Amino acid sequence: MEPINEHDKRKLENAPFGQLGLIMASGCREMGTEIDHYLTLWRAERQNEHLGSPSYAGYKQPTYIINSKVPRFGTGEAKAVLSQSVRGMDLYILVDVVNYSETYKMFSFENHMSPDDHFANLKRVIAAVAGKARRITVIMPYLYESLQSKRTSRESLDCAIALQELVRMGVDNIITFDAHDPRVQNAIPLNGFDTVQPTYQFIKGLLRTYDDLKIDSDHMLIISPDEGGMKRAVYFANVLGLDMGMFYKRRDYTRLVNGANPIVAFEFLGSSVAGKDMVVVDDMLASGDSALEVAAALKKRGAKRVFFFATFGLFTDGLQKIDEAHEKGIIDKVFTTNLIYQPQELLDRPWHSSCDLSKYIAYIIDTLNHDSSISDLLDPAERIWKIVANYKKQHSCGQDKKPEPND
């Protein structure tokens, strides 16, 4: 009888594409370590009749992390250095391009790394590989320059240029999360590009945080804060069996504020929100201004509670505005992921909850290394139905009760 694997949840029959290697670019050390933990745990337990064959050479390792560093010269210039051979490996390179906590010295000044610095370091690491790897996959949760993914006037197309540059350097696949505009993949139509949605992790986080949710159309509504996020909200609404609404942003196209046209008004399209819990789904919280306006508009219409799901909690203008909104009862909870850097002050906020994606990324890496399909990971509908059904079973009291007018 085969031993029961306590932690290994996936059955992978294909032989590995190559020996697995994990490189953490600057800013991804903590998440990379967690991913490596899961990979080593699963593979230590995994049983396969072909483990002794040459195709499985180096399959079970104490760690899959390839030690790398990017030392800086006094001028701020840099180089990438790998401490071991990567010849013939199936490499996965993690990079967090918005980790502003990383610093380096230039002419005795302490500089915080910008997205440009992180992207340059990624290219340095790829250059250090020097074409010796069998396959290179870049895992870039926040897609570099994703806010500049389309052209509306005489302006640069930075995201498309960056993708093409990575492909020219030998990258085979790019995995990102919740791309601001996934159509940017048209820039590299012959290469792998996957944009992953953390839908399951958000729903699981919400269900673990609250024990009084009534998940039906009478008590809950999915909200898209703008027309650009409709597809994302439609998926949430469909898998949860809920109705949805959206806000239409009217902008002032005669001027720019912080690189964008300012919003002058929000118009809501959808059914009544009175007495219902609102789940607002977006790809990111940047300054947080739009989120606060959406939450205030929902509360004004009689919403019971307002929850935010945002894959990337950037909070570029700080946390004070969200603190004040929470104290006033405008926002109840904000769920973000650990796909990007999260300062401790954010993690300590009572209105914030972090959804861990390390295990999910480890599943993706493990499956791709076996050259197997990740379709079931990209569409977690069945897993969502299962946890929602279990939640309703455990908290069945009052699930079918209609909301009272003053709820």
| pLDDT tens, residue by residue, 83-103 | 999 999 999 999 999 999 999
Top-confidence range, 87-101, 141-155, 220-234: 87-101
By C-alpha distance, which of 310, 348, 257 is closest to 142?
310
| The pairing of beta strand 333-337 with beta strand 352-355 | parallel
- Percent of the chain having pLDDT more than 70? 95
By C-alpha distance, which of 177, 26, 246 is closest to 116?
26
Q: Give yes or no for a contact between 182 and 189, defined as CB atoms under 8 angstroms apart.
A: no
Compute the distance between CA of residue 179 and CA of residue 311 in angstroms, rounded to an integer.
Answer: 10
Average pLDDT (207-223) is 93
Q: What is the pLDDT of residue 149?
A: 84
**Could you tell me the CA-to-CA distances from 183 to 49, 149, 160, 188, 242 in Å, in that order?**
42, 8, 10, 10, 27
Q: pTM of the full predicted structure? A: 0.90
Query: What are the tens digits of pLDDT across the range 194-205?
Result: 999 999 999 999
Q: Does the pLDDT at position 250 exceed 80?
A: no
- Percent of the chain having pLDDT more than 90? 72
Q: What is the pLDDT of residue 3?
A: 44
Average pLDDT (258-262) is 73
Compute the distance between CA of residue 144 and CA of residue 260 in angstroms, rounded to an integer.
Answer: 18
pLDDT range class, residue 16, cuts 50, 70, 90: very high
pLDDT range class, residue 243, cuts 50, 70, 90: very high
First CA to last CA across the chain, in angstroms?
A: 56
